[in-house]
């Protein structure tokens, strides 16, 4: 079977909306993909502020933004379709939306971007609310990319995505486990703002600084790091707990970036080394914007080399758009009425067919 789908993803780093048009081919349970077109549409300052402060809105204001952001997503997808001349070539669209609330302990998660609004604007079948079913089944609702990693990249033993939050997936004891490791780009970008830039390109500012051992100890003492998986993080852990802790240390921006980058590398290396399957090929596939952070990847590679684990950076499109790619796959799985989550990853009581389906035409 062949499917042509668009996936959209808005990550916690607030850099913009990723849109990817994917050709999927499934034969005998094996999947192949080709990213035929992809863009990241940067958010302007006003929208960044609206998204970053959405948790403080009243219920009515939140719902209005939910609808408005869905319409906005639909317009961007229409522009994308026109730009790449994809009219009548898209079977369906899967939208992750932008996560504002994530409280799996209360069986609740909420992503901005109303699916009905996207469907109305685009005229396409739209799958949204991809995390909700897993949450309802008692799972974490996150990470949700491991089923895509399992199906599209079976040759790797472990996966790391470095976005606003760093999360890993590992094959362990004949099953897949995955969890959020620590805040990543969301905190790094907040720190980079102290140097007057949107982000620390290549980790150059971090590389110029030095580590604060006192701050590293405080960071590593966070209760979350000692919790067993399944577990997941809300964006607020990075913005409301980790970032203020770093700022309270009173060190330079370069030293803060250096220290936190080292912290990310240490947390990820420890998580991967502890959970990667023994005797596997021990290759870690890295994606997300953090894969372009040379200083971070250098630090991580050095730590994992001690454990005979090799860091692999794929082609640039896969690095940048892997999450949008997998959102598109989840939409296809929902269309096929197949499971979109792995219970060993999320802790749900059973596999769930996640996603609300909206028929735009």
In order of 243, 259, 260, the CA distances from 249 in angstroms are 10, 11, 12
Q: What is the pLDDT of residue 143?
A: 86
Of 64, 80, 83, 68, the residue nearest 124 (C-alpha): 80
Question: What string of DSSP letters covers 279-304?
Answer: TS--EEEEESGGGG-HHHHHHHHHHH
Residue pair 355/127 in contact (Cβ under 8 Å)? The answer is yes
Reported as a single tens digit per residue, the pLDDT across 231-271 is 999 889 999 999 999 999 999 999 999 999 999 999 999 99
Which residue numbers in the chain have pLDDT < 50?
none
Q: What is the pLDDT of residue 129?
A: 97
């Amino acid at each position: 079977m062949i499917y042509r789908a668009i996936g959209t993803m808005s990550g916690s780093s607030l850099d913009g909306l990723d849109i990817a048009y994917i050709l999927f081919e499934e034969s005998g349970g094996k999947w192949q993909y080709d990213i035929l077109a992809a863009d990241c549409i940067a958010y302007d300052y006003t929208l960044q502020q609206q998204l970053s402060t959405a948790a403080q809105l009243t219920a009515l204001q939140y719902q209005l933004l939910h609808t408005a952001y869905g319409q906005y997503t639909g317009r961007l997808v229409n522009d994308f379709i026109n730009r790449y001349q994809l009219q009548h070539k898209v079977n369906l669209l899967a939208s992750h939306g932008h996560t504002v609330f994530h409280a799996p302990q209360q069986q609740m998660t909420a992503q901005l971007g109303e699916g009905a609004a996207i469907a109305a604007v685009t005229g396409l079948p739209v799958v949204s609310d991809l995390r909700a079913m897993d949450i309802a089944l008692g799972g974490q609702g996150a990470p949700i990319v491991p089923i895509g990693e399992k199906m599209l990249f079976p040759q790797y033993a472990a996966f790391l995505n470095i976005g606003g939050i760093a999360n890993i997936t590992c094959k362990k004891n004949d099953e897949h486990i995955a969890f959020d490791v620590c805040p990543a780009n969301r905190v790094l970008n907040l720190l980079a703002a102290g140097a007057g830039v949107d982000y620390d390109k290549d980790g150059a500012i971090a590389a110029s600084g030095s580590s604060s051992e006192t701050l590293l100890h405080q960071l590593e003492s966070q209760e979350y790091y000692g919790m067993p998986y399944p577990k997941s993080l809300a964006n607020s852990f990075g913005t409301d707990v980790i970032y203020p802790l770093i700022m309270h240390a009173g060190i330079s921006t370069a030293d803060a970036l250096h220290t936190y980058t080292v912290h990310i590398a240490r947390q990820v290396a420890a998580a991967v080394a502890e959970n990667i399957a023994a005797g596997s090929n021990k290759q870690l596939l890295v994606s997300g914007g953090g894969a372009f952070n040379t200083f971070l990847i250098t630090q991580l590679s050095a730590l994992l080399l001690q454990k005979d684990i090799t860091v692999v950076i794929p082609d640039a499109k896969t690095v940048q758009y892997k999450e949008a790619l997998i959102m598109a796959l989840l939409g296809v799985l929902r269309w096929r009425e197949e499971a979109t989550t792995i219970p060993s990853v999320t802790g749900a009581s059973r596999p769930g067919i996640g996603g609300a389906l909206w028929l735009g035409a």
